C-alpha cells in the first residue's frame, strides 16, 4: 500500500499545484526584492519589477542565481530575514570562496523536515519504524534533514551520523533498524561489512534512502541484494534546503519534486534558454515557500530530464531523472564536493606549476582521490625521501583545503600529457552517470 505524508498535495490535480505555485511565486519574488538588496540589484539590472511576475509563465523573466552569486554575497548578502528570525545554518564543504552557507527560520526547518518526511513515507516508513540516519550530522544537510523527517513521521530515530562501521552494525542489529539513510557508497560498504561478519540474519532493514552523490542502477541492485532491502534515491542541495527536494517512490524510476515548495525548470546550460519537458539540460530551482534563503532560479549545474508522465504511485508531482552529469567540473568524492580549482590553489600556493591531473576511482565501494603533480625541474635531483616529504606536505595542504585525504604523487616534469584545447584535469574512473 502506497503511503503519503501529505496526500492532498502529493496527489493534487496539476492545476491545483500550478495555482499554488503561482500565488507563492508572486509572494516570494516580492519578499526577495524587498528584503535582499543584492537580489533587487540583479532584478533592476535585468529591468524586471516584482509586478512583472504574475505566474510561473513569467519565471523566465527573472535573472539566474549561481554559486558565484553565493560567493559574492557571502556570508549574509542573500539573507532575506533579520538575524533574530534565523535559527540555523547548514553548509557545504569547501573553503570560504566555495563554501555555501544556507540559512533557515524555524518555518524553513519545518518545511524541510516535511519534505524529508514525504520521502520516508514514500519508502513505507511509519511511526513503527526504526530509522537509522547514517548521513553526516553537523554542517552537512544529510543528517539533520533525514533526522527531522524521521521525527515528523514519528519513527524512532537513531542519529548515528557517518563512520564507525562497527557501531553502526551493532545498533542496526540490537535496535532492529528497519530504514537506513546514508550515501549509496556507505550503504554498499555497510552491506559488505555485514556479510563479512556473517550477520545478515540479524538485519531487519526493509528499505534505504540513499543520495547526495550519483549512483547507478547496478549499484542499486548490489545494495538491494546485499542488505535485502528496497533502495530508493533522494536528491537535494544545500542551497535549496538539503535532502528531500526530490524523492523516489515505489516505482523507483525518477524522483518526485516537492513542487509546492520548489519550481523546477530545465535550461540549456550554454544559452540559458528554457527547454521543454522531456529534454535534457541543467536543472534550475526556485524556492517559493522559504523565508530566510529564498533562492530564485538557482542553477544547480546538475544535468537531468523532467517528466510529468503518470506515476503508478499516484503522486502527481513532476519527476526528475537521476542526475546524468554536471555542467561544471565539481566532483563529489566520499560525499564531499570538490572543485579542481581548490586543488589548483593549493598547488599554486606551494609554488608548483599548474600541471596536474586528478584521478578519481572507486575501490571496494570507497572513493579514492589521487592528484598527480609535475615536479619542479630543480626537484629532479631530490632524494626519494625528499620527494616523499614534499608529497606529504601537499597531502596535508589538500586535507586542509578539501577536508578529505587525497593521495599526492609527484611525477617527472612534462610527463602529464598537454592538451591542445581545454586541459583534461579530471579522470573519473567511477562511471557514475548512466546516459
Ligand atoms: O548532498 C544534500 C543531500 C543530502 C542529498 C543527503 C541527498 C541526501 P550538497 O552537499 O549541497 O547537498 O550537494 C548537492 O550533490 O547538486 C548533486 O550534484 C549531488 N546530489 C545530491 N543528491 C544526489 C543524487 C546534498 N540523489 C549536490 N544523485 C547536487 C546524484 C546527487 N547526485
Judge whether 13 and 314 are in contact, CB under 8 Å: no
Q: Cell 566520499 maps to which residue?
A: 334
* Ligand 1 atom nearest to 234, measured from its CA: 26
pLDDT of residue 435: 55
The Å distance, Cα 148 to ligand 1 centre, comes to 17
Where does ligand 1 bind, in terms of residues with CB under 6 Å? 92, 135, 141-142, 211-214, 233-238, 242-243, 300, 302, 322-323, 332, 337
- Rounded Cα–Cα distance for residues 350 and 397 (Å): 9
Judge whether 343 and 280 are in contact, CB under 8 Å: no
pLDDT of residue 94: 61
Closest protein CA for atom 28 of ligand 1: 214
Give all strands (DSSP E) within 309-381, no chain letters: 319-320, 331-333, 336-338, 356-363, 366-374
Low-confidence ranges of the chain (pLDDT < 70): 93-98, 419-423, 434-435
* Cβ burial 165-204 (10 Å sphere, 16+ → b, else e): beebbebbbeeebbbbbbbbbbbbbbbbebeeeeeeeebb
Q: Which of 98, 143, 145, 237 to mutate to test the pocket of ligand 1 (most atoms within 8 A of CB)?
A: 237
In Å, what is the CA distance from 261 to each residue of 28, 86, 120, 138? Answer: 11, 19, 17, 24
Note the residue count of the chain: 435
pLDDT of residue 420: 62
The values of phi and psi at residue 148, to 5°, are -65, -40
pLDDT of residue 364: 82
Closest protein CA for atom 15 of ligand 1: 212
* Ligand 1 atom nearest to 239, measured from its CA: 11
pLDDT of residue 357: 93
**Spatial strand order in the sheet of 281-287:** 262-267, 281-287, 298-304
For residue 103, what is its C-alpha cell? 540559512
* Ligand 1 atom nearest to 209, measured from its CA: 8
- Rounded Cα–Cα distance for residues 301 and 143 (Å): 23
User: What pTM was estimated for this model as a whole?
Assistant: 0.92
Give 130-142 pLDDT, tens digit per residue. Answer: 999 999 999 999 9
pLDDT of residue 33: 98
Give 135-181 pLDDT, tens digit per residue. Answer: 999 999 999 999 999 999 999 999 999 999 999 999 999 999 999 99
Give Cβ neighbours of residue 51 (< 8 Å, ≥ 6 apart). none
* Ligand 1 atom nearest to 135, measured from its CA: 6
pLDDT of residue 391: 96
* Ligand 1 atom nearest to 336, measured from its CA: 10
For residue 145, what is its C-alpha cell? 534533514
The Å distance, Cα 307 to ligand 1 centre, comes to 20
Q: Which residues pair with 360 in a beta bridge?
A: 369, 428
Amino acid at each position: 500500500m502506497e503511503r503519503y505524508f501529505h496526500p492532498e498535495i502529493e496527489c493534487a490535480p496539476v492545476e491545483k499545484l500550478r495555482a499554488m505555485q503561482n500565488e507563492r511565486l508572486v509572494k516570494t519574488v516580492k519578499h526577495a526584492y524587498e528584503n535582499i538588496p543584492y537580489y533587487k540589484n540583479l532584478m533592476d539590472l535585468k529591468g524586471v519589477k516584482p509586478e512583472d511576475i504574475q505566474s510561473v509563465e513569467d519565471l523566465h523573466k527573472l535573472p539566474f542565481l549561481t554559486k558565484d552569486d553565493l560567493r559574492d554575497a557571502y556570508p549574509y548578502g542573500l539573507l532575506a530575514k533579520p538575524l533574530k528570525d534565523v535559527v540555523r545554518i547548514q553548509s557545504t564543504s569547501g573553503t570560504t570562496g566555495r563554501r555555501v552557507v544556507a540559512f533557515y527560520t524555524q518555518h524553513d526547518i519545518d518545511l524541510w523536515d516535511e519534505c524529508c518526511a514525504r520521502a520516508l513515507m514514500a519508502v513505507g516508513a511509519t511511526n513503527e519504524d526504526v530509522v537509522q540516519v547514517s548521513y553526516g550530522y553537523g554542517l552537512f544537510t544529510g543528517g539533520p534533514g533525514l533526522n527531522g523527517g524521521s521525527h515528523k513521521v514519528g519513527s524512532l530515530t537513531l542519529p548515528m551520523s557517518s563512520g564507525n562501521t562497527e557501531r553502526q552494525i551493532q545498533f542496526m542489529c540490537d535496535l532492529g533498524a528497519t530504514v537506513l539513510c546514508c550515501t549509496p557508497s556507505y550503504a554498499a560498504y555497510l552491506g559488505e561489512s555485514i556479510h563479512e561478519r556473517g550477520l545478515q540474519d540479524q538485519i531487519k532493514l526493509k528499505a534505504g534512502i540513499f543520495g547526495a552523490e550519483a549512483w547507478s542502477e547496478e549499484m542499486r541492485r548490489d545494495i538491494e541484494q546485499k542488505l535485502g532491502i528496497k533502495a530508493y534515491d533522494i536528491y537535494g542541495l544545500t542551497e535549496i534546503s538539503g535532502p528531500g527536494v526530490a524523492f523516489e517512490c515505489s516505482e523507483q524510476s525518477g524522483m518526485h519534486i516537492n513542487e509546492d515548495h520548489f519550481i523546477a525548470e530545465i535550461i540549456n546550460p550554454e544559452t540559458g534558454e528554457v527547454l521543454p519537458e522531456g529534454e535534457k539540460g541543467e536543472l534550475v530551482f526556485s524556492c517559493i515557500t522559504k523565508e530566510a534563503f529564498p533562492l530564485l532560479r538557482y542553477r544547480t549545474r546538475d544535468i537531468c530530464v523532467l517528466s510529468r508522465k503518470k506515476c503508478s504511485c499516484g503522486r502527481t508531482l513532476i519527476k526528475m531523472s537521476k542526475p546524468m552529469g554536471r555542467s561544471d567540473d565539481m566532483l563529489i568524492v566520499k560525499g564531499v564536493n570538490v572543485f579542481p580549482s581548490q586543488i589548483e590553489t593549493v598547488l599554486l600556493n606551494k609554488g608548483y606549476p599548474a600541471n596536474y591531473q586528478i584521478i578519481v576511482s572507486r575501490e571496494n565501494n570507497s572513493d579514492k582521490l589521487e592528484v598527480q603533480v609535475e615536479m619542479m625541474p630543480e626537484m629532479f635531483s631530490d632524494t626519494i625521501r625528499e620527494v616523499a616529504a614534499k608529497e606529504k606536505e601537499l597531502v596535508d595542504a589538500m586535507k586542509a583545503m578539501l577536508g578529505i585525504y587525497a593521495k599526492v604523487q609527484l611525477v617527472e616534469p612534462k610527463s602529464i600529457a598537454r592538451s591542445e584545447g581545454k586541459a583534461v584535469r579530471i579522470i573519473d574512473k567511477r562511471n557514475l552517470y548512466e546516459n
